[in-house]
Each structure stands twice: as C-alpha cells, then as structure tokens.
Amino acid sequence: MGTPKNVAEELVAGIADVRIRAMMGEWIVYFREKMVGTIENGHLFVTPVPAGRAMLAEADMLSPHAGAKPRLLVENASDKAFLYALFAAMWEELPARNRSKKKNGGQCLPFFTGYDMKEEKLAALRAREKEGRDPTCADETLAFMLKTAREIGAERILEIGAGKGLTSIAFALALPDAQVAAIERDAERIAAARENFAAFGVSERVRLIEGDAAEILPCMEGAYDLIFLDAAKVQYRRFLPDCKRLLKEGGVLFSDDVLLFEEGVPKKRKMLAAHIAEYLGLLSSDADLSTEILRLGMGLAVSRKVKA
C-alpha cells in the first residue's frame, strides 16, 4: 500500500533543506518549503520545470499514478549531491506553497486534482470524525482503496454507508474522471454530506442517494468498478448479492471493519460478531469472488470479481 516511510526517508536522507510529508499512502517532497516532487511506488518523481528538464535531459516523463500529470522520473536517486543540486536549481522556478482560498494559482497535489487547502481541509475533517461516534475509515484503509482505484482505472464507484461523505470526496478528488454514487439513510449525515460535497466542489460528480440501502440496492442498475461497503455490519450479508450483481467483472468490493472483534467478542456483541463471521464465510466460499483480508484499520475484506 504505497511507499513505506523508511523507503521514502532513505531516498532523501542526508539532503539538506528537504522534508517529506505523507499523502494518502505516498509522499510529497519539499525543498525549502516548496514542493519539488513526490515519492510513489518507491520512485522519485520531480516537477518538470525547465531547470529539472535540463539536468534530467534523458529522464522519462511518466505519470506516477493513473490520472496524474507526467513528471520526471529520477533514476539516479542514490546520488544525494546531485539531488541537492537538482532541487536547488528547480527551487527558483517553483511556486511557493499557497494556503489561501483563491480559486487559481494553488499548488496541485499528487493524489488530488484540487489545491493543497482541499487536501488539508479533508484531512482535518477526517481527523475530527474519527473522534466521533461513527468514525470514518482508517487512513491506511483509504490509502489502499485510492491506490487500488487508480490501478484499476475506476470510473464508477459506489459507497454504501456514506456518512458525511468524506470517503466519497476522497474518491472524487483522487479520480477526477470518476462518477461516485453514495447511499446514506441518516438525515443528519445526509445534510452534512451535501454541505461537504458542495464545499469541495464535487457535487456534480458525487450523487447522494437518500434512503435505506436494503431498499435502494435492488433497484439500482449499471456496473461499478469499485464498491465500498461501510454500512451496518449486520446488513453485509443482505447486501452481498446486489453488490455482486452491480460489480463489474474484474471490479473490487471493499468491506470495512470485518476484523472488528479479532481481539475478543463482548457479550453484547456476540450476534454482531456472528453476522460478520457468516459474511466472511460467504465471501471466502463464493466462486465468483477472490477475497483476501487485510489488517488495515479494523480489517478490510478485498474481493475481486473473477472474470468469466
């Protein structure tokens, strides 16, 4: 799931005036507080300003991830003296970090098409929600889903149990060509989601479907590249047939919090634990799905629909 922190730190170790910042499983590289590039999948990519092009004349221009603008791939990243000289040469031509709320001139980030302020605002909202009664998905869970979504080129995404819309917003920002459908039944969360979608400018690409997923899913048509199931756990079994029907061949179904009781089951939660265990049994025995359980957050089931 992205580049490990120790790998990213090693790539820039010993280079003065450099720092890195985690961003959805990968890393932004700053030199003297200006963004010079990113570290993605263990590789260093830099912004193709004229100075960078001149010093990396034979470097390949590649997109670090699906939908990203091409950047210069630095092959000789082990030469720290060269990297310092490269960053120093690029520095004058790079824009300063812009934290204002202007609509133009913002610094574009590697995973989102919006500005730095959007990513930081979303991170702040997610941090606040994690302290609430119904926390949003874990950072590592979201990072893995976004990475997978980019890898499969997801164009249609369905979230079941949208809450206040923060995960749907992350999908929309990370995948500028994707359309997202988000189901939510709680009136308070619906109102908050609509407000959040408008604030992040994604209302036209995120369709909020109000109501009970048990009633909505059977009526839905079309095929989705990615489905994120994060609703009431007791309903996972009930939702599975429709999730399979709506999932494209080769598509991915993510089911969150499936290891909720891995450390033990409280007496009052035995029925819920039984529902989750039965759901995992259905996933593992389904010939149409290839499922693995990842220890991300409170457990993430990743089920890929097998192509016929």
Taking only the tens of pLDDT, the chain with its 308 residues reads 578 889 999 999 989 889 988 766 678 898 888 889 899 889 999 999 999 999 999 999 998 876 677 899 999 888 988 999 899 989 888 876 544 333 333 333 344 444 345 777 888 888 888 776 667 888 888 888 998 999 999 999 999 999 999 999 999 998 999 999 999 999 999 999 999 999 999 999 999 999 999 999 999 999 999 999 999 999 999 999 999 999 999 999 999 999 887 667 777 788 888 999 999 999 999 999 999 999 888 899 999 999 75
Whether 280 contacts 240, CB under 8 Å = no
The tokens describing 156, both together, are 């249609």
Domain boundaries, the chain: 5-91, 116-305
CATH architecture of 5-91: 2-Layer Sandwich (3.30)
- The distance between the two most distant Cα atoms of the chain, rounded to a whole number of Å, is 66
In this predicted structure, what is the pLDDT of residue 196? 95
Q: Which parts of the chain are beta strand (E)?
A: 18-23, 26-31, 34-40, 43-46, 61-62, 71-74, 156-160, 179-184, 206-210, 224-229, 247-256, 289-294, 300-305
The tokens describing 149, both together, are 């979504």
The tokens describing 170, both together, are 């992350």
For domain 116-305, give its CATH number from 3.30.428.10, 3.20.20.10, 3.40.50.150, 3.40.30.10: 3.40.50.150
- Strand-pair category, 224-229 with 247-256: parallel
- Of the candidates 248, 161, 167, the one whose C-alpha atom is nearest the C-alpha of residue 202 is 167
Answer yes or no: same fold for 5-91 and 116-305.
no
Residue 159: which residues within 8 A CB-CB, separation 6 or more?
167, 168, 171, 180, 181, 182, 183, 227, 228, 230
Q: What is the DSSP string of 255-291?
A: EE-TTTTTT---GGGHHHHHHHHHHHHHHHH-TTEEE
